[in-house]
Structure 1
Amino acid sequence: MTTSTTYSAVVWTKQGLAKLMSASQQGLSLTITHVSAGSEAYTPSDTQTQLRQQQQIVPIGGAEKLDNNHLRFSALFDGEKTYDVKEIGIWSEGTLAAVYSIANQQLNHKAANAAWVEMFTLDVSTLPSNNISFEMGVNNANIFMAKELASLTHAQLLQGKNLIQQAHSNMLLEERLRKAGL
């Protein structure tokens, strides 16, 4: 984990910045599509075109613009692989746009047959952030809540059924009272 003494900013690659500037000049946006995780710790370079020890690449699971200077997105890493997470890559289709790593530091750990969800916040204050967008994949973190959401939905349906039965019983009782003149 990082501390205030080991903080390191994301390094935007030359090719990522070139793609962003080209898109901006055409009135388009740089679309962030994937995030990758790797197992080598180092000081990133702006000339990188790939992670040094990439282990896994996954689609963006969700994204939002927090303000004009910050973008937040998530990614879900799952599957059989196990590795120490020491480098993160941010991708625009096949282009490595940015890299995050700290020399001699482990950022996280991905266990075998387990899922790891990571939220990323990018400071884009020095970039034309209006020209950065996201393409969400199907690998969404909400799948973790599928069982809970199904249980909640079932409980709400049962509650609705009981309310309807109670309303029907009340209606029948009112009808009987009215016929009895009460």
Structure 2
Amino acid sequence: MSTGLQPVITKAGLAAILTATKTGLSAEISHIALGSQAYTPSADQKTLRNEVARFPISSGQKLSSTLLHLTAVADGTTAYWVKEVGIFLKDGTLLAVWSHLTEALAYKAANIDLLLAYDLSLAALPADSVTITSMAAGLNLTLAEPLAALATALIAEQVRGMDLRDRVASQERLQRIAEEQISSLLARLSAAEKYASETRDSLLSLAVINATGLMTLQYNQIQKLLGA
């Protein structure tokens, strides 16, 4: 997905374009520069305020007479927030500059390539006064969509993994609850068995006592009959 940029056209860039058009040529955009300082850009600028790195245009497409689609790849070991963007002509002139006081455009992580894809509006310039020079070697940006699809698939797989971990955790919680319930049932069963055993022993003892008393009573009656 492209980011739409409406940069400030610099006086130096406009002068370069007017010079080129007078000779029947078009000014050529060749590089994108990224910087880390946030501010309100000015037409008097000739450089970025804090340029971190400059990258060749990897590919470009003219969407209309005043709208260009630019792509480049920002590489390197430096990490920084992209808070200013400069569009440079082939001769090194700063054609246009974008920045914002409070909003960063992107984050460039260390040792991770950042794909830059910008729709550059040049409505303030004469139609067809700017062309694009592609200078990157060995880079095929037609892989951008497959790479985006791969990234989407990886993210989806991570989401599925998180969902699986959540379900496993849920099953573990249910298992713990079931084990606690079984343990409670076993404890109650043991208590019931103990109570039943104690009750049975008590009943047996009572039966023995009753039988002993009955036998004693019968014995006494027999003795009385024999004495008579």
Task: Please say whether Structure 1 and Structure 2 have the same fold, judged by a TM-score greater than 0.5.
Answer: yes
Q: What does the per-residue CA deviation read over 1:2-48, in whole Å, with 9 as the maximum and x for residues that have no partner? A: xxxxx983100000000001101110111001000000010000000
RMSD, matched Cα: 2.4
Q: Which structure has more RCO (C-alpha within 8 Å, separation ≥ 6)?
A: 1
2:57 aligned partner, one-letter code: I
Q: Which amino acid aligns with 1:13?
A: T
Structure 1 position 75, deviation (Å):
1.1
Query: Match for residue 88 of structure 1?
Result: 85
Please state whether the residue corresponding to 2:88 is helix, strand or coil. Answer: strand
- Structure 1 counterpart of 2:100, one-letter code: I
Q: Which residue of 1 aligns with 2:125?
A: 127
Unaligned runs of 5+ in 1: 1-6, 150-182
1:132 to 1:56, Cα distance in 2 relative to 1, 3 A: same
TM-score (norm 2): 0.58
- The answer to whether the aligner puts 1:108 opposite 2:106 as a matched pair is yes
TM-score under structure 1 normalisation? Answer: 0.71
Paired letter, 1:34: H
3-state SS of paired residue (1:88): strand
Larger radius of gyration between Structure 1 and Structure 2: 2
Cα distance between partner residues in 2 of 1:87 and 1:140: 27
Please, which of 24, 27, 30 is the counterpart of residue 27 of structure 1? 24
Higher helix share: 2
Q: Which residue of 1 aligns with 2:177?
A: none
Q: Write out per-residue CA displacement over residues 134-172 of structure 1, whole angstroms, 9 at most, x where no aligned residue.
A: 1111256527949x89xxxxxxxxxxxxxxxxxxxxxxx
Inter-CA distance 140–98: structure 2 relative to 1 (3 Å threshold): farther
2:38 aligns with one of 33, 38, 41: 41
Q: What stretches of structure 2 of length at least 5 have no aligned partner?
A: 148-228
User: C-alpha separation between the residues in 2 aligned to 1:140 and 1:12?
Assistant: 31
**SS at structure 2 position matched to 1:113:** coil
Aligned to 2:54: 57
What is the SS of the residue equivalent to 1:21?
Answer: helix
SS at match of 2:140: helix
Note closer, same or farther for the CA distance 1:140–1:133 as it changes in structure 2 (3 Å cut).
farther
- Identical pairs, percent: 37
Equivalent residue, structure 2, for 1:18 = 15
Greater fraction strand: 1
Cα deviations by residue, 1:65-93 (Å, 9 ceiling, x for unpaired)? 11223111111101111111000000003
